[in-house]
């Protein structure tokens, strides 16, 4: 864990993560979006993934890959959308497709 904590994250990548989290809070299909703690855990998971892949920095793909695993169980889909078959994983994937990835 000490080595994972040393993995760095650029300002652009942090903004990318923040935009994803913000969109979950504004999505009409969700009763509850991602919390600040969810954002923190997404960052930790992304740092761990970067470390496991031999990097000392996080890239947007790390966040994109970890987001469904970290966020899906933290979001609550509104009942009317849930009845229609919408799942939190679907919402996350759509948000990830919408948010512009920094270069």
Output the six-digit token pair for 99. 């948010």
SS3 8: strand
Instruction: State the DSSP H helix or E strand holding residue 31, giving kind and residue range, or none if neither.
Output: strand 30-32
The per-residue pLDDT for 61 is 98
Task: Give pLDDT tens digits for 18-43.
Answer: 999 999 999 999 999 999 999 999 99
Domain boundaries defined on the chain: 2-98
Looking at the domain 2-98, which fold is it? Answer: Helicase, Ruva Protein; domain 3 (1.10.8)
Predicted TM-score of the model (pTM): 0.93
Residue 46 pLDDT greater than 90, yes or no: yes
Burial of 17 (0-12, 13-18, 19+ CB in 10 A): buried
The per-residue pLDDT for 99 is 98
Q: Cα separation of 73 and 76, whole Å?
A: 8
């Amino acid at each position: 864990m000490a080595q994972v904590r040393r993995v760095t994250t650029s300002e652009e990548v942090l903004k990318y993560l923040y935009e994803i989290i913000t969109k979950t809070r504004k999505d009409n299909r969700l009763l509850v979006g991602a919390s600040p703690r969810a954002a923190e855990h997404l960052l930790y998971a992304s740092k761990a993934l970067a470390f496991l892949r031999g990097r000392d920095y996080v890239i947007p793909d790390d966040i994109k890959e970890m987001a469904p695993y970290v966020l899906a169980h933290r979001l609550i889909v509104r009942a009317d959308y849930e009845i229609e078959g919408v799942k939190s994983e679907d919402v996350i994937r759509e948000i990830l497709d919408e948010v512009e990835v920094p270069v």
